[in-house]
Chains A and B, each alone.
Chain A
Amino acid sequence: MSLLKAEDITVRDGATTLLSPVSLHLDPGEPLVILGETGSGKSLLAQALMGMLPEGLEAKGRVAIGDRVLNAGTPDRFRGLWGCEIGVLPQEPWLSLDPLMRAETQIAEAHRLVRGLSPRVARARAASDLSELGLAEAGSRFPHQLSGGMAQRVAIAAARAGGARIVIADEPTKGLDAARRDEVADLLLSEMGQAGGLLIITHDLSLARRIGGRLIVLRAGEVVESGTTRDIFAAPGQAYTRELFAADPESWSPRPSAAHPGPAVVSAEDLALVRGQRTLFQGVSLEIAAGQVFGVTGPSGCGKSSLGDAILGLIPPAHGRIRRQGGAHPFAFQKLYQDPVAAFPRKRRIGEALADVATMAGCAAREVDVLMEGLGLDPKLLRRRPGAVSGGELQRLSLLRVLLRKPAFIFADEPTSRLDPITQASVIRLVTGAADTDGIAVMIVSHDQALIRNTADSVLSLSEPGNEDNALRHRRRASSLT
Chain B
Amino acid sequence: MSSIDFQTTRRLPLSPMRAIGTGLITLVAALSLLGPLIVPGDPLAQSLIKALAGPETGAPLGYDHLGRSVFHRLADALRLSPVIALAAVATAGAAGLILGTLSAAKGGWIDRIFVMLADALLALPGLLLVLIVLAMVPGTALGFWAGLSLVLWVEFFRLTRAATRETLASPAVQASRLLGFGPVYLFRIHIWPEIAPMMLTAAAFGTATAIMAIAALGFVHVGMRAPTPELGLMMVELLPYWREAPVALLSPVVVTFALLLGLTLLAGSRET
Contact = CB atoms under 8 A, between A and B. Distances in A.
Interface of A: 38-39, 312, 314, 330-331, 333-335, 337, 339, 341-348, 353, 356-357, 360-361, 387-391, 398, 401-402, 405, 418-420
B7 interface: yes
B15 interface: no
Contacts of B7: 387-388
A391 B5 CA distance: 11
B241 interface: no
B171 A360 contact: no
B189 A348 contact: yes
B4 A405 contact: no
B174 interface: yes
A346 B171 contact: no
11 contacts: A314-B174, A331-B180, A343-B174, A345-B172, A345-B190, A347-B194, A388-B5, A389-B4, A391-B4, A402-B179, A405-B180
A201 B171 CA distance: 31
B2 A39 contact: yes
B108 interface: no
A23 B218 CA distance: 74
Given A387-B7, A419-B1, A331 B178 contact: yes
Contact of B180 (A39, A330, A346, A420): A330
A345 B2 contact: no
Contact of A356 (B5, B8, B181): B181
Interface in B143-193: 170-172, 174-176, 178-181, 185, 189-190, 193
Given A331-B179, A335-B178, A356-B189, A344 B172 contact: yes
Nearest to B186: A345
A345 B176 contact: yes
A8 to B, nearest CB: 24
A343 B171 contact: yes
A273 to B, nearest CB: 17
B1 A335 contact: no
B4 A345 contact: no
Contacts of A334: 178-179
A389 B8 CA distance: 10
A331 B176 CA distance: 10
A325 to B, nearest CB: 16
Nearest to B196: A347
A351 to B, nearest CB: 14
A353 B171 CA distance: 15
B199 to A, nearest CB: 15
Contacts of B174: 314, 335, 343
Identify the interface centre among B171, B174, B179, B190: most chain A CB within 10 Å of its CB. Answer: B179
Given A330-B180, A331-B180, A360-B180, 11 more contacts: A39-B1, A39-B2, A314-B174, A343-B175, A345-B190, A347-B194, A356-B185, A360-B181, A388-B8, A405-B179, A419-B1
A441 to B, nearest CB: 15
* Range, interface on chain B: 20 to 34
Nearest to A357: B179
Contact of A346 (B4, B8, B179, B193): B193
B193 A390 contact: no
A38 B2 contact: yes
Nearest to B8: A388
A402 B4 CA distance: 23
Contacts of B185: 356
The 6 closest A-B pairs by CB, nearest first: A331-B180, A347-B193, A343-B171, A388-B8, A38-B1, A391-B1
B4 A387 contact: yes
Identify the interface centre among B7, B171, B180: most chain A CB within 10 Å of its CB. Answer: B171
A251 B2 CA distance: 26
A402 B174 CA distance: 13
Contacts of B178: 312, 331, 333-335
A388 B4 contact: yes
Contacts of A333: 178
Contacts of B1: 38-39, 390-391, 418-420
Contacts of B181: 356, 360
B175 A335 contact: yes
A4 B99 CA distance: 63
Contacts of B2: 38-39
A401 B172 CA distance: 12
A361 B181 CA distance: 10
B39 to A, nearest CB: 47
A363 to B, nearest CB: 12
A401 B179 contact: yes
A341 B5 CA distance: 13
B179 A387 contact: no
B189 A387 contact: no
A194 to B, nearest CB: 36
Contacts of A341: 4
A389 B170 CA distance: 19
Nearest to A348: B189
Given A330-B180, A348-B189, A419-B1, A387 B194 contact: no
Contacts of B189: 345, 348, 353, 356
Contact of B175 (A337, A361, A391): A337
A312 B174 CA distance: 11
Nearest to B174: A314
Contacts of A38: 1-2
Contacts of B176: 345
Interface string B2-26: 1011011000000000000000000
Contacts of A345: 172, 176, 189-190, 193
B174 to A, nearest CB: 7
Contacts of A337: 171, 175
A199 B109 CA distance: 56
A387 B1 CA distance: 10
B171 A339 contact: yes
A342 B166 CA distance: 12
Given A347-B193, A387-B4, A419-B1, A342 B170 contact: yes
A398 to B, nearest CB: 8
Contacts of B179: 331, 334, 357, 360-361, 401-402, 405
A398 B189 CA distance: 17
Identify the interface centre among B1, B4, B7: most chain A CB within 10 Å of its CB. Answer: B1
Identify the interface centre among A330, A335, A345: most chain B CB within 10 Å of its CB. Answer: A345
A398 B176 CA distance: 11
A38 B1 CA distance: 7
Identify the interface centre among A343, A344, A398: most chain B CB within 10 Å of its CB. Answer: A343
Nearest to B182: A360
Contacts of B171: 337, 339, 342-343
A459 B267 CA distance: 55
Nearest to A340: B171
